[in-house]
Chain A
């Protein structure tokens, strides 16, 4: 009997041990913690990610929305860790506040891919890498567009997003740095917030006209809706000569370019963002590493010349 028992154990053990291997045929679970499903880009990215995962097959995406609440993002990440997801995707709501939660996930041995919104430096050690658009690069590309539109000279003003947001700060900094590198004669003479709200963007555009009148040659609006709204103000005031550059490559932004309202915008494609994020997430789940720590998605400058090549995804 004892021998039989040993035999049994010998034959059962390899089978038992094989179970975890067999379990790898179960779907790969990607946990995605994102800041707010109510934000158009985030919603479009999340939908694109789930669609891409469906096409890939055998991949399950669990998406949790923090609804704009920093504390909820931390608990969301904790519950994804408890679910033992194979890989964690995080679009951070606040670049610094997310760090402790990322440390916990890292300590639990879950590979983390930061997507879309990049966490701050303190959190970088916990990350396997970053994949997504880069707000700083968008600001740089906007600088190139304005420099080209204004032939390298004139005064511009900025219609900014919400004050203090990393998106706002990076887009402004990118613009300034690239203008300096280009040795452009363009001067930034004003910057005011419109909170991503086109209604406020119109107020700001009108105030710019009052403040700078003929001195104003161009405007960088940090989102397409604000850009289109400002351009409408300039047109109504008989100042269609003011060149407006937005960013986002949204349906509204492309339409404004086609109508000749807006000079240009910068592409930020949710589909490209999601495809690259999924590719890297699957690689991390299989224990592979990423080609680079930071993997910025391709972002194109869009003007009337090439606007027809873009369909506008959001």
Chain B
């Protein structure tokens, strides 16, 4: 390996390309709209990314392990519906409206994980199957109707709506999640094992890593984070058409891939996913401000994503030992 490549790899440990992309899109956005950098809009951008971002963090960990979790959109919906049906109106029901969806998310993640790692099912198929099951179960449970909480306690609606120094609470929580997950993935045995499994599952098995246990935990984490996102939706709007909030899996996966997590596992970072979430939020926001219509927005997103994926695969070829 040449020294220049080594140096670049070292630099890459601290500043990933996606963070440079983020800086670039922020500069471009500030140039094309003088309103983009207003404090109110900065908060909008940060807030906009959180719901999808939390889902994406969980999917990043699963994908580093080499698997896909496409049931997350359905878990988001299930958790939001559960929280609203429980009806957080007093401290006891608030606790229930938070704990029960999180536990359900963890349980569904455990089922996903066992089906994928123990039964060796293909994770795309298995988690899409889980998605259908959950959509069906929830929609049957609420007869396809809107779900609402009319007397939501301030404590619960504050989860997503309250602000500290002008910034909504979920933004702080998102930052904390990114930091914690970065440390977990970088500095703990669990994290190293997830990278190992994603890099080469058979080799990890032979090296004595508890693949089923570790792998299942990644799905549990993803399920819980998706549920957390659903709880925020419940708190944010208090009333949902369940069929309108089940679509978060694909935008989240887009961010994960844009952040450079390898589709074949073994590579990726939660902080890069966070940067990618912000890149998408900035692009969407500035195009909405300028009133670009949906087809153009889609087109720009497509170009950014395709460009990023091409860049990553070229770089991997270059950095291959």
Kindly list chain A residues whose C-beta atoms are within 8 Å of the C-beta of B145: 40, 43-44, 314
Cβ contacts A34-77/B at 8 Å (1 or 0 each): 00111110111001000000000000000000000000000000
Kindly list chain A residues whose C-beta atoms are within 8 Å of the C-beta of B40: 206, 209-210, 237
| Complex-state Cα separation, A191 to B292, whole angstroms | 9
Min distance, Cβ A59 to any Cβ of chain B, angstroms: 21
Binding site for A on B (CB under 8 A): 33, 35-36, 38, 40-41, 44, 47-48, 51, 135, 139, 143-146, 148, 150, 161, 233, 236-237, 239-245, 247, 284-285, 288-291, 293-295
| Complex-state Cα separation, A197 to B44, whole angstroms | 17
A204-B288, A207-B44 known; A163 vs B239 contact (CB < 8 Å): no
Whether A206 lies near B44 (C-beta < 8 A) is: yes
Whether A210 lies near B240 (C-beta < 8 A) is: no
Whether A195 lies near B44 (C-beta < 8 A) is: no
Min distance, Cβ B233 to any Cβ of chain A, angstroms: 6
Whether A199 lies near B245 (C-beta < 8 A) is: yes
Cβ contacts A212-238/B at 8 Å (1 or 0 each): 010000000001010011000000110
The 3 closest A-B pairs by CB, nearest first: A43-B144, A207-B288, A38-B139
Min distance, Cβ B78 to any Cβ of chain A, angstroms: 13
Whether B243 lies near A210 (C-beta < 8 A) is: no
Kindly list chain A residues whose C-beta atoms are within 8 Å of the C-beta of B135: 38
Q: Is residue A136 within 8 Å, beta carbon to beta carbon, of the partner chain?
A: no
Whether A203 lies near B48 (C-beta < 8 A) is: yes
Min distance, Cβ A41 to any Cβ of chain B, angstroms: 9
| Complex-state Cα separation, A199 to B243, whole angstroms | 13
Whether A38 lies near B242 (C-beta < 8 A) is: yes
Known: A199-B237, A229-B237. 9 other contacts (CB 8 A): A40-B145, A163-B294, A199-B51, A199-B245, A207-B44, A210-B38, A211-B289, A225-B241, A252-B148
Kindly list chain A residues whose C-beta atoms are within 8 Å of the C-beta of B150: 255
Whether B143 lies near A43 (C-beta < 8 A) is: yes
Whether B35 lies near A210 (C-beta < 8 A) is: yes
Kindly list chain A residues whose C-beta atoms are within 8 Å of the C-beta of B291: 189-192, 211
Kindly list chain A residues whose C-beta atoms are within 8 Å of the C-beta of B285: 203, 207
Kindly list chain B residues whose C-beta atoms are within 8 Å of the C-beta of A195: 244, 247
Whether B288 lies near A251 (C-beta < 8 A) is: no
Q: List 18 A-B contacts (CB under 8 A).
A: A40-B144, A44-B144, A47-B143, A163-B294, A193-B294, A197-B245, A198-B244, A203-B47, A203-B285, A204-B288, A206-B44, A210-B36, A210-B38, A210-B44, A210-B289, A211-B33, A213-B35, A229-B237
